[in-house]
Structure 1
Amino acid sequence: MCGVIAMLLASQSTHCAGELAEGLQLLQHRGQDACGIVTCGPKGRFFQCKSNGMVRDVLDAKSLSQLVGSMGVGHARYPTAGSSAHSEAQPFYVNSPYGIVLGHNGNLTNTQHLRYYLDHYAHRHINTSSDSELLLNLLADALQKTGKFRIDADDIFRAVREVMQTTSGAYACAGMIAGHSIVGFRDPNGIRPMGWARRKSDQVEGGWDYLMASESVVCDALGFTDWKDVNPGETIIITREGVSIQQVVPPRTFAPDIFEHVYFARPDSVLDGISVYRARMAMGDALAKNAAAVLEKAGLVADVVIPVPDTSRVAALQLAQNLNIPYREGFVKNRYVGRTFIMPGQEIRRKNVRRKLNAMALEFKDKVVLIVDDSIVRGTTSREIIQMARDAGAKKVIMASCAPPIRYPNVYGIDMPSRFELVANGRTEEEITTAIGADLTIWQTLPDLVASCSQFNSSITEFDCSVFTGNYVTGGVDEAYLAGLESLRSDNAKIKANAQGRPPVVNVNGAGGNQGGQTESGASVVSASAPMNEVHAEGGDDNSQVVGLNNAGGDANKEHPDVAMGLSNLGEK
């Protein structure tokens, strides 16, 4: 689950990096591991700054001042697999053909086939374990087949169509082609969100500035209007001459991820016509009905309703009003600790729960407390919160979840990796209650959760609810795939991957590659004496300090091998 953004300004003399950074700060909740921006300046030259860390730390004033250009792409990374090395920070870049940048939100489920094709037939070097780099190289390979010195919108549409016909999984992408356009596209099931907007330019008479982003909140904050969602299987190309939109593949079952509304998205965003805030209000209304029945059956009366800040506040308030129980803010949040759910490692998450939240004894002492959370995933946070409530003097602790029990891993870009790390996997509801240390648990039913969202957009009849049901909308997810995914995405696998740090490398120019030399701090190094490192198109591109990417924008390789196994066949194998 990442945040992506792209921008194209009407005025070629205005730099977009500052607004891109503002947009990424608004999307920081979607990824706190790494971030980056690549801009396109005069003569098609790319400038980039990316590294591990929060937006405010990586993209400081000095870095932004050196990101030249009126169009660019930004990304806030949330890792779901493998290493969290600097080299996996996005956006990714390839120099051939034309110079292409891509930021990706989601997860592909047929990466082994794609990697095999790119290595053995397209002869494109993949330097990281990121499926986002695979996507970028698939797009580059498809564009290279045109053999053109200059491409047009039809060429891009055909290239994205080939990518979509090849890949399986979830993806919402924002990209840029040097000196040409920004490009956005979304998988045929529309699992991950993406939209675009525009505003009148105050620099160019009659001109328009354009924005693409993961959530509509960016549009509102930066003064853009006319927000539109990118439809499933749709591609949008924006140049200074105008906007081109094409349905490049037929949409499949439209099934946006319901967990966006449960937890991930900001409440002030509207995704696919559904207000996240209104959906969470409806979740609280529905949960209240179930809670009333469960409490009556258990013979319990709650004295107070307390939310786990921040995502459950809206639902908790609705529940309290429906049950006529006082609503209180019993936990005070330290806003300078990141979202514990997306932190790497169980032990880190556990420790940070208490660093992040502090219980006020006044609201807990000698009371039957009904704590409302958006969901219960690993159980780490719930166990700590329940213990904090007991330590503060609560007589009984009832836990209510706005989502059903999460029993299956997410394969579309949310870090619910191993079934064995999910507290609900293989447990009954009573056993979950014991595992998290509550006196009673109350769960939202799946039909109520779906209705809470679908009532605001009748055209969406299905959501991706695979974490609750184990039914994966894209297909192709079997036991062998899940086992392989768990070997890469479990906490132990991530700790091992991050522990196997590679030694510093200077001046790496692998054939067809896209990574420059990297120091221990993650900075690109080509010339040790140069304050502003230039990485030429023949070399590569990484990293964490601002880097000028000299993009020749030249002719694509006109020779493409006659492959025995075409890309169109890979998705079926």
Structure 2
Amino acid sequence: MKEYCGIFGIYNNPNAAYYTYLGLYALQHRGQESAGIAVTDGNRIDYHRDFGLVFSVFNSERLNSLTGHVAIGHNRYSTSGASDSPDNVQPIVVSYKLGQMAIAHNGNLVNAWELREKLEDEGSIFRGTTDSEVIVHLIVKSKKRRFLERLMDALSKLKGAYSLLVMTNKKLIAIRDPWGFRPLCMGELDGSPVFASETCAFDLIGAKYIRDVEPGEVVLIENGEMKSYRIPAFESAKRSQCIFEFVYFARPDSKIFGRSVYEVRKAFGRKLAKEHPVDADVVIPVPDSGVVPSLGYSQESGIPFELGLIRNHYVGRTFIKPQQKMRDIGVKVKLNPVPELLKGKRVVVIDDSIVRGTTSRKIVRMIREAGAKEVHMRISSPPTKWPCYFGIDTPTKDQLIASTHSVDEICRYIEADSLGYLSIEGMIEAAGGSWEDYCTACFDGNYPVDIPETVVRQAKKE
């Protein structure tokens, strides 16, 4: 599993670019390929974007040049479109008949290929390959007169996941798709409305969380006035919030979908301990996403919690892969066991998921080599059997080990003494709400939106 995108926006603040920079800093975990900020002074939109982490893309001089009182920002991990094309870095900024416009998008459209092909047939020319650019073209080509009408017209054609921030010379608009796949939070900073993918961005800048942007809601801010609208074409859409946000993607100190990520993850661990108990001496997490559910597992089971695996936080995605004879270094450079905590012990290892299984096998071997007597793997989510088409960069179905292997077969493959997954029922109960609130397609294949065959074929090619 890989991160996807984080977005941040602020209205009517003299330090808009700087606060957006800080917001993106807090959301860095959601995307590490590129970052960008667009800002307006009411007359024109200026922007800067580039490949790299937030701190490397922006410096004091660059931020000082982005003057204006309204800004939006974006961190990207590519789930649609080539990661090495500058034209795919967001926010996307364009000039057209009604003025300028900037867009920052988190999510993935399942009908983007269909829409793009139709737009190209009508004469549209695309610079990049992202589905986000499709949204821009739909707005620009709409026959509606006013901007809000154009925007609503474009949104009525979209299917899939999109949390959007749209900025014009005079407006800031926050949008969440009718299914509510991706989180989008609303807050306030000294009278300035702010929006972010997660509330951890508000904590950093001292903003107050107000509420979530609701699924299917369009929040328009213009001339200091905030208005709320509904996307009319999808009023009957079923709420389908991505439960994997709780499992892995969101920061544990964030609040999304109205719930504390920390408390939900701990509840996952408690439920996992009830469903898959084991006689053991120590519970250890695979950091970082396994830490909080490990605490819940430890507290429920009474088995002591220890940090038996230490993560190297300075390893980036550009780590050079070793030769075949040194293949295990790829994991060891990121994780290192503490033999003093593991030697002669029966160890419970908590991780958030198993995707292909190769990393889990290396972790189990590493713990055994450190002297563990038994290694019991516990996963704080159900088996991942189906790919995601709504903004998570997952492998295709044939590459997901749980789609072709039973739990016992996976256990043998990763060389653990036992393996237990959290059930879907237990996960939903721990997350709060009901089945109707969440998308669980990656676990059960029940996609809330029909997936076109062209999208499935394209995913296999990529």
Common topology (TM > 0.5)? yes
Contact 1:73 1:176 in 2 (8 A): yes
CA-to-aligned-CA distance 1:122-154 (integer Å, 9 cap, x gap)? x32111111011122222323xx234xxx5xxx
Please list, as runs of the form range in 1=range in 2, the aligned pairs for 1:418-457 lying within 5 A after superposition: 418-454=396-432, 457=433
The structure-2 alpha-carbon separation of the partners of 1:29 and 1:216, relative to structure 1 and needing over 3 Å to count, comes to same
- Cα pair 2:6 2:106 within 8 Å, conserved: yes
After superposition, the Cα gap between the structure-2 partners of 1:345 and 1:30, relative to the gap in structure 1 and judged at 3 Å, is farther
**Is 2:153 the counterpart of 1:162?**
yes
Matched, 1:243 2:226: yes
Q: Distance in 1 between matches of 2:394 and 2:174?
A: 26
| Residue 357 (str. 1) matches residue 358 (str. 2) | no
Structure 2 vs 1, CA of residues 187 and 102 (structure 1 numbering), >3 Å: closer, same or farther?
same
Stretches of structure 2 lacking an aligned partner (at least 5 in a row): none
Alpha-carbon distance change, 440 to 330 in structure 1, aligned in 2, over 3 angstroms: same
Number of equivalenced pairs: 453
Structure 2 matches for 1:313-392, cutoff 5 A?
313-338=291-316, 352-392=330-370
Give the aligned residue type for 1:422.
L
Contact kept in structure 2, 1:100 and 1:140, CA below 8 Å: no
- Which amino acid counterpart does residue 188 of structure 2 have in structure 1? R
Q: Which residue of 2 aligns with 1:538?
A: none
Q: CA deviation at 1:323?
A: 1.2
Shift of 1:71: 1.1
Partner of 2:109: 108
User: Aligned-pair distance for 1:88?
Assistant: 1.3
SS of structure 2 residue aligned to 1:183: strand
Structure 2 partner of 1:65? 64
Higher relative contact order (CA 8 A, sep 6+): 1
- 1:266 maps to a residue whose letter is R
> Per the alignment, do residues 345 and 197 of structure 1 end up closer, same or farther by CA in structure 2, a change over 3 Å counting?
farther
| Distance of aligned partners of 1:49 and 1:350 in 2 relative to their CA distance in 1, 3 Å threshold | farther
- In the TM superposition, residue 352 of structure 1 has moved relative to its aligned partner by 4.4
- 1:149-548 equivalences under 5 Å are 151=146, 155-156=147-148, 158-178=149-169, 180-200=170-190, 208-249=191-232, 250-292=235-277, 295=278, 301-338=279-316, 352-454=330-432, 457=433, 461-475=436-450, 477=451, 481-488=455-462
**Residue 3 (structure 2) pairs with residue 5 (structure 1):** no
Q: Could you tell me which residue of structure 2 aligns to residue 504 of structure 1?
A: none
1:428 CA drift (Å): 0.7
Identity %: 34
Q: Residue 484 of structure 1: CA displacement?
A: 2.3
TM, length-normalised to structure 2: 0.93
Whichever residue aligns with residue 117 of structure 2, its letter is Y
Inter-partner Cα distance in structure 1 for 2:322 and 2:177: 31
User: Residue 422 and residue 248 in structure 1: after superposition, are their counterparts in 2 closer, same or farther (change >3 A)?
Assistant: same
Cα separation, 1, equivalents of 2:321 and 2:380: 24
Mapping of 1:67-146 within 5 angstroms? 67-85=66-84, 86-97=86-97, 98-121=99-122, 123-142=123-142, 145-146=143-144
What secondary structure does 1:107 align onto? coil
The answer to whether the Cα contact below 8 Å between 1:232 and 1:251 also exists between their aligned partners in 2 is no
1:464-520 C-alpha deviation (Å, 9 max, x unpaired): 000001111012x155532322212xxxxxxxxxxxxxxxxxxxxxxxxxxxxxxxx
1:60: Cα distance to partner? 2.1
Q: Does the 8 Å CA contact 1:370/1:398 hold for their aligned counterparts?
A: yes
| Separation in structure 1 between the aligned mates of residue 216 and residue 317 of structure 2, nearest angstrom | 31
Once the two structures are TM-superposed, the CA of residue 450 in structure 1 deviates from its matched residue by 0.9
1:517-558 Cα distance to aligned partner (Å, 9 max, x none): xxxxxxxxxxxxxxxxxxxxxxxxxxxxxxxxxxxxxxxxxx
Aligned partners of 2:46 and 2:240: how far apart in 1? 36
- What residue ranges of structure 1 are gaps of 5+ in the alignment? 201-207, 296-300, 489-573
1:423/1:268 CA distance change after superposition, 3 Å: same
1:125 and 1:224 map into 2 onto residues whose CA distance is: 40
Contact 2:185 2:209 in 1 (8 A): no
C-alpha deviations, 1:185-211, integer Å up to 9, x for none? 1111001111211232xxxxxxx2121
Give the Cα separation in 1 of the matches to 2:314 and 2:129. Answer: 30
Task: Give the structure with higher Rg (CA).
Answer: 1
Contact kept? 1:39, 1:67, Cα under 8 Å: yes
Following the alignment from structure 1 to structure 2, what is the Cα–Cα distance between the partners of residues 259 and 467?
9
User: How far apart are the structure 2 equivalents of 1:94 and 1:350?
Assistant: 46
Q: Distance in 2 between matches of 1:128 and 1:351?
A: 36
- Letter of the 2:207 partner, please give it: F
Partner Cα separation in structure 1 for residue 415 and residue 82 of structure 2: 33
- Contact map agreement 1:407 1:425 (CA 8 A) in 2: yes
Q: CA deviation at 1:240?
A: 3.8
Q: 1:378 offset after TM fit, Å?
A: 2.5
1:435, distance to aligned residue in structure 2 (A): 2.2
- 1:462 deviates by 2.9
Shift of 1:350: 7.0
CA 1:43 to 1:162, structure 2 compared with 1: closer, same or farther past 3 Å?
A: closer
Label 1:392 to 1:229 Cα distance change in 2 as closer, same or farther (>3 A).
Answer: same
Q: Provide, for residues 312-335 of structure 1, a one-character-per-residue CA deviation record: whole Å limited to 9, x for no partner.
A: 211111111211111110111222
Query: Are the counterparts in 2 of residues 5 and 212 from structure 1 also a CA contact under 8 Å?
Result: yes
